[in-house]
Structure formats: structure tokens, C-alpha cells
Amino acid sequence: MTSDVAFPLFSAPYAPADEPIAAELLRNASLGAHAEARIDRLGANLIAAARGKKTSRIGGLEDLLREYSLSSEEGLALMVLAEALLRVPDSFTADRLIEEKIGAACWSGQGEAHAGAHGSEPLLVSAAAWALGTTARMIDKGKTAEGVIAAAARRIGMGALRAAARQAMQLMGQHFVFGETIEESLRRASSREGRSNRYSFDMLGEGARTAADAEIYFKAYAHAIEAIGASRAVAANPERLGISIKLSALHPRYEPLSRTRVLAELTPRVVELARMAKRHGLHFTIDAEEADRLELSLDVIDRALADEQLKGWGGFGLAVQAYLKRSIAVVDHVATLARQHQRRLTLRLVKGAYWDTEIKRAQERGLADYPVFTRKAMTDLNYIACARKMLALRANILPQFATHNALTVATIVAIADGVDGYEFQRLHGMGEDLYAGLRDEFPGVTCRIYAPVGAHANLLAYLARRLLENGANSSFVARLGDRDIPAADLMVRPQAIVGEAANARASALALPLDIHMPSRKLAAGVEFGDSQALSALLASLPQTAAARQAAAIVSGAKTKLRKKAAIPKPAGPTREILSPIDGSAIGAVADAGTSELPQAMDEARAGFRLWSRQPVDERAACLDRAAQRLEAEAPRWLRLLQLEAGKTLDDAVSEWREAIDFLRYYAASARDRWGSPQSMPGPTGEDNKLHCHGRGVFVCISPWNFPLAIFIGQVAAALVAGNSVLAKPAEQTPLIAIEAVALLHRCGVPASALRLIPGDGEIGAALVALPGVDGVAFTGSADVATRINRALAAKDGPIAALIAETGGINAMIVDATALPEQVSDDVVASAFRSAGQRCSALRLLCVQEDVADRMIAMIAGAARELAVGDPRDVSVHVGPVIDADARGALLAHIGRMSAQDKSGAITHFTGTLPADTPQGGFYVAPHIFELRSAADLRSEIFGPILHVVRYKASELDALLDAIEAKGFGLTLGVHSRIEATIAHILDRRLAGNCYVNRNMIGAVVGTQPFGGFNLSGTGPKAGGPHYLARFCIEQTITINTAAVGGNVGLLNAVE
């Protein structure tokens, strides 16, 4: 397919600091007095043209954005309605959505106010206001939306209201979307009005989640290219028409960690489409994706350009986003490609449409900085810098400038000294008046319309991005529509707004690692879309780990493993630790014997007396030092998490970061809460102080599924509160525990305050039964938690504290307004990440029956694309389960479910293990079963098995009753666009952690305190503000300060 070409390496820092970039941009921003004067004149004319009095017309997206800005109730309601209504098949759910979104806003008032101030209204705006404001006109203070809707329904019928709202959405769709099919779009492009324009057709749709989706999108692209190529418009002028391709629509796992697979499978498809476009002489543009996919996109493009059949073709191009700090480096890379392949490439420069996503992702990933600029003025400034470079490279690049900003347009014209050798681009429905004004001054200007093509129901991602991009109060489009803002204010240069490099950042937005400052820093993470960072991490991981040994730490020293006859045998058995990856021995452990436990308790009691009297700040400092070391020693921890716990690299990084966050969060919480006694209010002449102290000896029993984070979280909380700890890790993962204990000892925790007691469940039970246990922190099964609770209650002496976090039959409820692609992503992550071995994992998916077929099919198709295997391979999504017992239990459940005649279950997906799955490992492929009712799932199935039930929208309460009847209460997911539905579900208080319109795993320390109630735990929540208090006793000290010599403070206060 491709020639043997050395691909130029794209290399640029992923998220560099803003200030050095700003300094360089500001240094080169001036264009000279003559050019600036030309910009002022042309910009003023363009603004005047765009604000000129409009005649009565249909209007478009620009008009709607002026009416219903994103900052208004109407704008938000409009976005939700446009996003969801057309995909809702049933009247019951559609009515609920319409009631909420129409009833909560004041549609008619918006339109009337604007029309009165600025003349006649475009038809689209007035029609939307009429259809959506049918009931709003009747809303008075004190009336509820539901009441008004009900009254209107009685007058004209709910069917008529529903039809009006759907009609408004259809009308919007007709003006946001150029055509529902490529044929309709070509007819429009060939009309008398359309013939004067150039077009780039964008086939609307979300990224592919399944192989079937990718095939549908590929065929749609291929069909569109052939249809465009066969049209008379192309025959007359091939330059007029082109197509934009979204790579994520052509592959179901378009992600950096699947790079090898993506390059092998996707590149030939892109080449095939490009060859078709070349044959017809069309423009062929690869659309921009999120920042973490940039390098992957460039890898695909590099290889596609090397195809021999594309040699000499100048129609191939891509889009670059100016809000990316790496955008200038992308321009340079494209120019290098053009020179290498001796052809001219097209390059579309856009501002960027995923800004909020990029900000959130950088914070979640724990990056040192953001990959995008955080100030709009910096994006505008960088846009001009990219434009200058592109214009200087016109021998290699055909620049295409996508903008609706009059200042940007005027600046580009001034830099280029005219309109030759490049083209502008605008979105369909936007910028018409602005570019009409430009054409009046420069008749030869080329402006291409970016024209969305697709069904109106697929409008949502496009519409939401446009609203976010252009509806914000800071955008040029929003400010242009506000005629109270003087034109001169719109012409203020971005370099003047920024001023100096120190102002390059948005002052209100902290760096990703600092979002919890000043109390603590987040754990630094890794961006897998940054090839340099990923390569460095992979190179640092030890390829093999030296065999490790774990043993009980009693009297401050390990019980030695028996190697020779001269060494005495430990009290407990010695056993090998097997890696779940391949069953190989990676170490050994000498389990504690029950005879050692009384000594351990005596020494822990003595250690408590010393440790509890250390100042809180010193105890917290030990945790901070441990966090620092843990962060610095990432490679060995990540590899150990993979070898002993079977973690994928992504999961290992997440757990390692969580452990660091626990250490820092509990250290900061302890300082804040107990740095000094709390003064209590009271009568004069008394000093009342509330003191907190450690309880005594805590037994911490942790699970194997988070052998570092939960182990170190329990231990750190108990220690910083002033307790001594007997820590018993899960029997499957003692090697991680011994390393964690050694880390804490190295960082200042005395051996007398922290002891390791490895062993099985019998050792755990013996620890709990010891006299003198003051508290137990336990994470594991509900059955074991119940036994611990009974054992503690049956003991004589002081009442011990129990902090238990167990599992649950965690459910996710999905109604008909939910976005299928988002549901698919979140279900697959929640059910199958970590091989389903999370307490929070999704076990029971409840889907409204009206959309269940499509939802289930997409989820099953997405599950089919998951790679199962050795987790040391970065492309693997699902690693092994923990041991042979776990695998056996899961396979037995799969067998029962597969026997449909007995279980009544329907099998929707049966995963298979690849041939290269390591022999000896403990692997279970994902499975999906549909049950007859929620009651059929009677226990937690701890692995990659998803159960699905359907429910009627009118029977939601019956479903909630069934979930509640299970008695658990850990996590719950909700996917809906109806706020009332969300509120109703949440009000049932079915779970300790509830997640709306996102996945339901990965609780973040200090952000989403984690833990449940009922059978799922006792609380308080780990990583939350109340957790440490459970490890303490409280002491109130009252001193009568007036007992000797009177109250001097009172006397002084009244003089």
C-alpha cells in the first residue's frame, strides 16, 4: 500500500507552560502601523455589515445564538431539547422532557424583547420562540412548570404541544444541517443560491463504538465521495466541493494505547477513501480530534500520505486547532510532509471545539499543565501566529482559515496583503453577513462553507459544540450580536488583552495539579496520548521483577523465610505468590501464625502510647514524605501492581495516584482538623476545648483488588489519627503490602506503630478476636463484614469501632433521552475495566425498553472490541482476574447464565480469549446477559460480567423498589437528560455514590468520598471529610478560669 518512506517524527511538548509561548507570541505580534490601520478599517466595515439591519428571513444558527445564549435558561434548555428530543421514541419520556425544558424557560419573552429593540425577527427564531413558548406565555409567578404544561395540555392536548416542540427541533435541524443526505446536500449546493459557494461536507455522527459503526461510517463516507464526484457541480468545478473525515468514526478503539492496531486497521481505510477523493479531484480533509489523539492522527496521516497512488495529489489535508499549544509545531510538521512528498497539502486552521473537555481531562490525568490555552485571547493570538506561518508556507500549504471573527478576518487579509492563495471557511448558518461584507470589498475572496450532513437526530454533538464554542459570553459571535458593545471594543487586539506573558493564563483556573491547593497537590499522572511521556514510562518499567519476599513484621523485624535448615520455621506456613498474568511465582510469603498475634498486640499497644503523643504535624509529615517517595518511585510500584494484581498500565497508574492522594489528603485533613484543640463557645470565665486522640490499636484488613491504594489509605488514616496499626493485607497480594509498610517505616513511622500481619481469612478473624482491639477498618465482602461486626459485638470490654466498606449489586438506570454513545462508553468502562473487579463496578444495567435494543447492541459491539490478555501489553483493556478460585466462580456463573432453558437469561455477548493469552494465567472474557427481571440477580458477581434488564418508563418506581430490595447501597449510575427524572431517582437514596451522565467507577480522593450504606458498608466514606473522625476518640476539657483571681479577660473587655 505504502512506499518504504521514513516518516518525519512529530515532536513537541504536550502541555508546556503558557508564559514562554506568550512571550514569543507577544514579541512577534506587531504588524506595523500601516497594517494595523488597514485592519481597523476593514474590521469596522465587517462589523457594520454583520450588524446591518436585517430583512425578514429564515435565519440560522447565528440568529439563534444571539437570541438564546448559553448563559440563559432558554439557551441551556434549547441545547438539551435539541440534543435529546429527536432521538426519544416514546411519548411518555418525550412529554417529560418537553414539560421540563419548555416550562422552565421564558421563550416568548426573549423573542419579543429582541424584536422590539432591533426590528423584525428571523423566521427560525420567531418560530422556535412560538413553538417552545406556547406554554411560557401563561407562566406567572408561583406557578409550576408542570402545572402550566398540564393546563395547556387540557386546552390543546399534550399531543399538540409535543408536535410543536418536535416541529421546532426539526426546524432547527433544517438550518443547522445542510442536508439530511448527501444527495439532498448536493441538490442544495447546485441550486441557484448554492452554486456561488464552495463546500466541505461534514458527515455528522459520533465516533464509532463498534466495528459495525465503523463500517457504516466508512460506507457513508465512500458513498458521499462517489456521489459528490458524480455530481454536475464537480464536473463544472472540482475545487468547489470536498469532504471532511473524522478518524474516530472509522475505528472503534481510536485511542493512543491501541496505536499498533489503529495503524494496521485504520490506515488502509483512510487510504482507500483518499484514493476515491483523488480520483474525483475533491478536497479531502482529516478533521481535528481531542488533544490526546493528535499524535495518533498524525501517525495515520503520515502513513496515508506515503501511499504511491496518492503521489502528486494536492487535495489531501487536515485541520489544526489553534487553542492547542502544539499547533504551530503541527503547521511545521505538515509543511515538512508536503516537502517530503513533493506536493501541496491543505491545512484548515480552526480555533478548537473541545476546550472544556481538554481542561477536565488534564485535571483528571494529573498533568503538569494544560494542552490548550486557558484564555481566549491567547488562542486568538496563537491563531494569528499560525496564520502568519501558513501564509508564509503557501508554496507547500493551501491555508484555509475557519473563523467568524471580524478582527481575525481583517488581520489575515492584512498579513496576506489581499485574498490570493488561501481561502476562508465558515460554518453553515453562520458568518453570512460578515463574509458578504468581505466580498463587497474583495470580490475575489474564496470562502468555503463547512456544511454538516446527516439526520437531524444526529445533530447533538455538533450543536452542543457550536453552542459551547460560540454561545459563551466571551465569544466574538456572542459579542457581535450585542449591539450595546461598541465596534471599537471588538477590535481590541488579543496582544493588548494579554498585555504581558505573566497574564497568559486564566487567573481563576488553577494548574491541574493545584486544583486542591493550598491544602494539597494532586498526584502527578501520565498522559498516554503524549508519546514521549508514555515511551519514557514504558522504558523505566523493569521488564522483570526480582523475586520478593513478604513476612510478618513483629517486634520491628520481619519473620524470616526458611531458606536453610538452620533458620527456624515461622509460625505460619510459607507459600509462593503467583502472578495472575501467567501463574508464575513472583515471590513468597511467610504467613503469620496465630501464636505471634498476642505479641504483636502487646507491642502495638506499647507503640500506640508513644505514637499517639507525637504532634499531629509530625505524624502528617510522615505521610507527606511517603507520598513524595511513592510518586518518585513510580516504575517499581507500577510493575509490582501489574505482576501481583494483574493491573493494566492505565489501572496501575490510577491506583498508584490514588494511594498518593490518600496520603496527602489525610495528612492535610489531620493538620486542619487536629492541629490545635477546637475552642468551643460558652459562658465567660470558662475555657472549653475539644481534643481528638487516637483510639488505640486498629486492625486494618484490606482487599486484593486495590492492594496499594486501599491498603495504604486505611493504614495512613489510622496512623495520622494517632493509632497504632496491625495491617493484614489480602492473602493474594502481600508483596505490595510489605513494600508499602517498608515505605512508611522509611518515612518516619516507627515499627512499633505499624506491623504487617500477612495471612488468610483465619488470621484476619484471629486478629479481630484479640483482646485490646480498639477498631477495625475492613474492605471486602458483606459476609465477612457481618462476621467481624458480630465478633466485635460479642467481646467483653470497650466497644470497638468498625469501618466497613463492602460491595454491592450496583445498578445503572438509562432512560430514552440518554445519548447511546455516551452510555456505551460509560457502561463498558464501569462493567469491564479492571476486569470488573471493583467494588463500584456496574453489575446491573437497567435500560428503558423503548431504546434497549439499540443500546444493548452498541454495548455488546463495544465490548467485542476490548482486548483481553497480558496487562503488560499497553493495548490490553481487560487483564486477568485475581486467582483460580475467582476464575472458577465466574466461569460457573457464566455456565448457569448460558443455560437459557434454566436461567431464562438471553446471552448478548460471549467474549473469547485470544490465542496468545498467557498460559497459566487466570482470564475471563467479558460477557453480557439479559435477565427477565432485576430480582433475578441475587448476589454480587465480582468480574467482567454485565447483567441487563429492560423497564417500562411508566414503571420506573417499581424498578427502584427492586433495586432497593436487594439491600445494598454502594454505587448507582443514572443516564438521562430530564432533571426531574434524575432528581426523583437520587431522592430514593439508593447508594452512597451516585453518578449522573458519566461512568460509575474511579472515585477521586477528596472529590468523590467513597463508601456505601446498608449491606455495602458502615461509613464514613474513605477519602472524605468525616473519615478520620471515626479513628478518634474525643475529649472535652473545661477549665474554670475564674476560679483563681477573677476573670481578667472579662474585666479588660468591658473597660
- Give phi and psi for 417, each to the nearest 5: 55, 45
| Residue type (1 letter), 138 | M
Length of the chain (residues) = 1055
DSSP result, 23-82: HHHHHT----HHHHHHHHHHHHHHHHHHHSPPPS----HHHHHHHS-TTSHHHHHHHHHH
**What is d(CA 882, CA 652) in angstroms, rounded to the nearest whole number?**
14
**H/E element holding 692?**
strand 686-694
937-993 pLDDT tens trace: 999 999 999 999 999 999 999 999 999 999 999 999 999 999 999 999 999 999 999
What is the Cα–Cα distance from 480 to 468, expressed in whole angstroms? 16
Q: Where are the alpha helices (DSSP H) in 484-546?
A: 487-490, 494-498, 531-540
d(CA 821, CA 220): 18
Task: For residue 755, give Cα distances in angstroms to 637, 742, 766.
Answer: 20, 10, 15
DSSP letter, residue 209 = -
Q: Across 334-478, where does the E strand assignment appear?
A: 345-350, 397-402, 423-427, 447-453
Q: How far apart are CA 346 and CA 394, in angstroms?
A: 10
The whole-angstrom separation of Cα 778 and Cα 786 is 11
Per-residue CA distances from 479 to 41, 367, 482, 769, 838 (Å): 19, 33, 5, 70, 48
Are 107 and 44 a contacting pair, CB within 8 Å? no
Closest-CA residue to 879 (of 639, 646, 706): 646
DSSP reduced 3-state for 596: helix
Are 558 and 591 a contacting pair, CB within 8 Å?
no
- Of 498-507, 555-564, 613-622, 970-979, minimum mean pLDDT range: 555-564
User: In 919-957, which positions are buried (b, 16+ CB within 10 angstroms) versus exposed (e)?
Assistant: eebbbbbbbbbbbeebebbeebbbbbbbbbbbbebeebe
Q: Report the distance separating Cα 268 and Cα 304, nearest Å.
A: 8
Q: How far apart are CA 146 and CA 164, in angstroms?
A: 17
Confidence at residue 169, expressed as pLDDT on a 0 to 100 scale: 64
pLDDT of residue 144: 42
pLDDT of residue 104: 55
Measured CA to CA, the distance from residue 916 to residue 923 in angstroms comes to 12
Is the omega angle on the peptide bond into residue 518 within 30 degrees of 0, that is, cis?
Answer: yes
Q: Is 805 a catalytic residue?
A: yes
User: What single-letter amino acid sits at 979?
Assistant: E
C-alpha cell recorded at residue 995: 453518578
Lowest mean pLDDT among 410-419, 549-558, 865-874: 549-558
The string of pLDDT tens digits covering residues 41-100 is 999 999 999 888 554 444 455 555 555 554 555 555 666 666 677 678 888 887 777 777
pLDDT of 631 reads 97
803-860 residue pLDDT tens = 999 999 999 999 999 989 999 999 999 999 999 999 999 999 999 999 999 999 999 9
**Measured distance CA(273)–CA(226) in Å, rounded:** 10
- Quick check: 195 pLDDT over 80? no
Helix (H) or strand (E) segment spanning residue 553: strand 553-554
Helix or strand (DSSP H, E) at 975 = strand 971-975
Give the model's pLDDT for residue 124. 43
Q: Which three cell numbers stand for residue 915?
A: 490465542
Q: Please state the three-class secondary structure of 365-403 as a single string.
A: HCCCCCCECCCHHHHHHHHHHHHHHHHHCCCCEEEEEEC
Looking at the predicted structure, is the pLDDT value of residue 6 above 80? no
Contact 600, 554 (CB under 8 A): yes
DSSP for residue 1008: S
User: What is the C-alpha separation between 982 and 296, in angstroms, rounded?
Assistant: 37
Residue among 622, 692, 700, 839 flagged as catalytic: 839
Give the pLDDT band of residue 535 (cuts 50, 70, 90).
very high
24 is catalytic: no
pLDDT tens-digit readout, 860-874: 999 999 999 999 999
Q: What DSSP string describes 116-177?
A: HHHSPPPHHHHHHHHHHTTTGGG--TT--HHHHHHHHHHHH-HHHHHHHHHHHHHHHHHHHS
| Cα 277 from Cα 67, distance rounded (Å) | 39
The answer on pLDDT for 567 being more than 60 is no
The pLDDT score that the predictor gives to residue 566 is 32
Q: % helix / strand / coil in the chain, to the nearest 5?
A: 50, 15, 35
Q: What's the CA gap between 531 and 552, in Å, rounded? A: 42
Domains of the chain and any CATH numbers: 552-559+592-676+693-805+1025-1055 (3.40.605.10), 811-1019 (3.40.309.10)
Angle between helical axes of 734-746 and 709-720 (0-180°, round to 10) = 40
d(CA 867, CA 925): 9
Picking from 93, 100, 170, 94, the residue whose alpha carbon sits closest to that of residue 128 is: 170
- If we measure between CA atoms, which residue out of 947, 953, 996 comes closest to residue 974? 996
Where b means 16+ CB within 10 Å and e means fewer, 417-447 reads: eebeebbbbbbbbbbbbbbebbbeeeeebbb
Specify the pTM: 0.91
- Provide the grid cell at 25: 507570541
Sequence-ordered list of residues with C-beta below 8 angstroms from that of 844, at least 6 positions apart, any chain:
809, 810, 811, 812, 934, 937, 947, 948, 949, 963
Element (H, E) at 697: strand 697-701
Residue with the three cell numbers 508519546:
531
For 243, 288, 996, the CA distances from 275, given in Å and listed in that order, are: 13, 20, 44
Band of residue 139 on the pLDDT scale cut at 50, 70, 90: very low
pLDDT band at 398 (very low <50, low <70, confident <90, very high): very high
- Residue bearing cell 459563551: 472
Whole-number mean pLDDT of the chain?
A: 88
Q: Which of 805, 821, 865, 930 is catalytic?
A: 805
Give 131's pLDDT tier (boundaries 50, 70, 90): very low
Closest CA to 349 of 314, 388, 299, 307: 388
Q: With the C-alpha atoms ordered 277, 282, 283, 287, is the resulting torsion angle positive or negative?
A: negative
Q: In angstroms, rounded to a whole number, what is the distance separating the alpha carbons of residues 306 and 324?
A: 26
pLDDT value for 234? 60
Tell me the percentage of the chain whose pLDDT exceeds 70: 83
**Alpha-carbon distance 568 to 564, whole Å?**
9
DSSP state of 15: S
Longest dimension (CA), the chain: 106
Average pLDDT over residues 423-428: 93
Q: What are 301-334's pLDDT values in tens digits?
A: 999 999 999 999 999 999 999 999 999 999 999 9
Omega before residue 486 within 30° of 0, cis: no
